[in-house]
Amino acid sequence: MKKKSIKKLVDFSLLRRIFRYAAPYKKQFYLSVVLAVLLAVVAPARPYLIQVTVDKYIANSLVRMVVYVTLFQILLLLVESAMRFSFSYLTSWLGQAVIKDLRMDVYTKVIRQNLRFFDRTPIGTLTTRTINDIEAINQVFSDGLISIIADLLMILSTLCVMLYTDWKLTLISLSVFPILIVATYIFKESVNKSFFRVRNAIASLNAFVQEHLTGIFVVQAFAAEKRESSKFEKINRDLRKANIDAIFAYSVFYPVVEIVSALAIGLLVWYGSYQVLHYHGSFGVIIGFVLYINMLFRPLRTLADKFNTLQMGMVAAERVFNVLDSRDFMPDSGTFSPRTMEGGIVFDHVWFAYKDEQYVLRDICFEVRPGDTVAIVGHTGSGKTTMISILNRLYEISKGRILIDGTDVRDYSLDGLRLHLGVVLQDVFLFSGSIMENITLRNPRISRDQVMDAARMIGLHEFITQLPGGYDFNVMERGGMLSMGQRQLISFIRALLYNPSILVLDEATSSIDTESELLIQAATDRLIKNRTAIVIAHRLSTISQADQIIVMDKGEIKEAGTHEALLRREGFYHKLYHMQFKKEGEKV
């Protein structure tokens, strides 16, 4: 697949797809094409005027005509410069406009993917697709196809003028071009391979840096800095080597072009001088041809590089469109979006697998009445968190049905479903920004007074007001300025403000201090009051008042019932409860 991407010169189906994004800006696109054609026509006119001036006016001492032609050339130069500026600005503007729209499409697509997609795709790779690769697509417009067409038109028009002026001298001047064509092909292939390796190395580098900076606590806590630096050095070395290979190709190619250009001019002067000495040519033609050759070699010098730019833009576009074409997103075909929910939940023979038929949930059946509190307990890996993820459709179930108020969750619109489900997880994620922004998630309908009232209910208002800036205190990336318990309490305020009909709560209090645990327990009691609650219980002593306790093991429901009924049964729950009680007793 990689070799195919490298070797294929232009994928027109991919190009058409890229240029569809230029449709809203077709006026600018057509104007840039017109400017490319006009530049191709205007550019050879100046050397031709110089040739005419030398042969007709200077040779015949027509001073007035020399002045007129010189003034006309100055005017032509100004017009050509204005056209070049407009062409360069328009193509760059068009590229920026297109990638702005494309980047929005990619970002919108990525944030709507289901969690399965993120399980398989490193975040750093997605960052590369959204930023670096889309930036490479910009080059398709600013230095790619339109620019290549402009250069080819200029070469074609210059060759036509040369052939019209003196076809023999043109053939002599172009006799060295086979050398240039071979050198250009070798350069293009070499740089293309290098750039392809550069793009892969950048993607690997982004993924590595993002992952390890996110997990910096683990790296430092286990003194793994040297080992991780060694891995980084290897990826960095691969990137350096790919870039150096490209630099070497450039370092060889440009001197070769200069040598071929010098050979062409040398042959031109030799044959032109022979013609002049034998009265078959003119000095004006020789001077004009020197300028023509420079005009030919100037675009040829960059043409191979522009082809590489175009190809790398195509490679980047292929990767970006792979993200856009991903079918690993949650279908949002439902239309049901009620204003309120009662909160009745039914799991009807639900099966779920992250991969193929390796089921992590098997034939799950239970019912939650509106307003009830259900606790889910079990060993790590028993499927507790997975049940939360499929309830609000972060993953799609494999078999069976999940009903809320008698309606299949797939019949709800995603927004209509998730707006009524509040989720408070053990590992609370806070965004870089103020406490206020993290609570409201920048929802303009939530006022500052509402936030403060909710904080008072949870018992966190006094703590927040003591922080520098109060509710405007910047929690920094991932909420690093706050403790785990404080982050959890902020997520409780967030859930309370959004007033969900169903609350899903990962009741993790084992790794926080006693004061925070008491606050969280009080906040939990307030949150679950008068609403359906599903609680993942880590400390079984906190769920004795639950209306129903579901005991999970290896993806299956082992037992279900009230706290007292399960203890009397002396089964799986009884064993779990006494194991935990014994451990806590030993700690005391």
Instruction: Decide if pLDDT at 392 tops 50.
Output: yes
Contact 395, 555 (CB under 8 A): no
> Residue 412, CB half-sphere, CA atoms under 13 Å: how many?
25
DSSP state of 144: I
Average pLDDT over residues 209-227: 76
Q: Where are the alpha helices (DSSP H) in 9-165?
A: 12-20, 26-42, 45-52, 63-111, 115-120, 123-128, 134-139, 145-165
Average pLDDT over residues 376-397: 85
CA angle (286 as vertex; 281, 290 as ends), nearest 5: 160
Q: At 514, is the pLDDT very low, low, confident or very high (cuts 50, 70, 90)?
A: low
What does the pLDDT read at residue 361? 92
Q: Could you tell me what percent of the chain has a pLDDT over 70?
A: 92
Who wins on pLDDT, 477 or 450? Answer: 450
Instruction: Decide if pLDDT at 587 tops 70.
Output: no
Instruction: Decide if pLDDT at 4 tops 50.
Output: no
What is the CATH code of the structural domain delimited by 2-104+118-324?
Answer: 1.20.1560.10
What does the pLDDT read at residue 585? 47
Compute how many other C-beta atoms are within 10 angstroms of the C-beta atom of residue 23: 10
Contact 315, 378 (CB under 8 A): no
Q: For residue 61, what are its two tokens?
A: 């001492």
Instruction: Decide if pLDDT at 459 tops 70.
Output: yes
Q: At 482, is the pLDDT very low, low, confident or very high (cuts 50, 70, 90)?
A: confident
Fold matches, 2-104+118-324 and 345-587: no
Architecture of domain 345-587: 3-Layer(aba) Sandwich (3.40)
The domain limits of the chain are 2-104+118-324, 345-587
pTM: 0.69
User: How confident is the model over 439-448, as pLDDT tens digits?
Assistant: 888 888 888 8
What does the pLDDT read at residue 1? 40
User: How confident is the model over 316-339, as pLDDT tens digits?
Assistant: 888 888 888 887 777 788 888 888
Supply the mean pLDDT for the chain. Answer: 81
Instruction: Decide if pLDDT at 221 tops 80.
Output: no
Q: Which residues contact 448 (CB under 8 A, 6 or more apart)?
A: 436, 471
Contact 247, 194 (CB under 8 A): no
- State the helix-helix crossing angle for 225-277 and 177-214, rounded to 10 degrees: 160
User: How confident is the model over 271-321, as pLDDT tens digits?
Assistant: 777 776 666 667 778 888 888 888 887 787 777 777 777 777 887 888 888
422 strand-pairing partners: 503
User: How confident is the model over 518-561, as pLDDT tens digits?
Assistant: 777 777 777 777 889 888 877 776 677 888 999 988 889 998 98
Instruction: Decide if pLDDT at 463 tops 90.
Output: no
Instruction: Decide if pLDDT at 409 tops 50.
Output: yes
What does the pLDDT read at residue 350? 93
Who wins on pLDDT, 582 or 270? Answer: 270
Cα–Cα distance measured from residue 190 to residue 185, given in angstroms and rounded to the nearest whole number: 9
The three-state secondary structure class of 546 is coil
The single-letter code of the amino acid at 7 is: K
> Residue 438, CB half-sphere, CA atoms under 13 Å: how many?
28
Instruction: Decide if pLDDT at 82 tops 50.
Output: yes
**Surface-to-core class of residue 460, CB atoms within 10 Å of its CB (0-12 exposed, 13-18 middle, 19+ buried):** buried
User: How confident is the model over 163-194, as pLDDT tens digits?
Assistant: 888 888 888 888 888 888 888 778 877 877 77
Q: At 133, is the pLDDT very low, low, confident or very high (cuts 50, 70, 90)?
A: confident
Average pLDDT over residues 197-220: 78
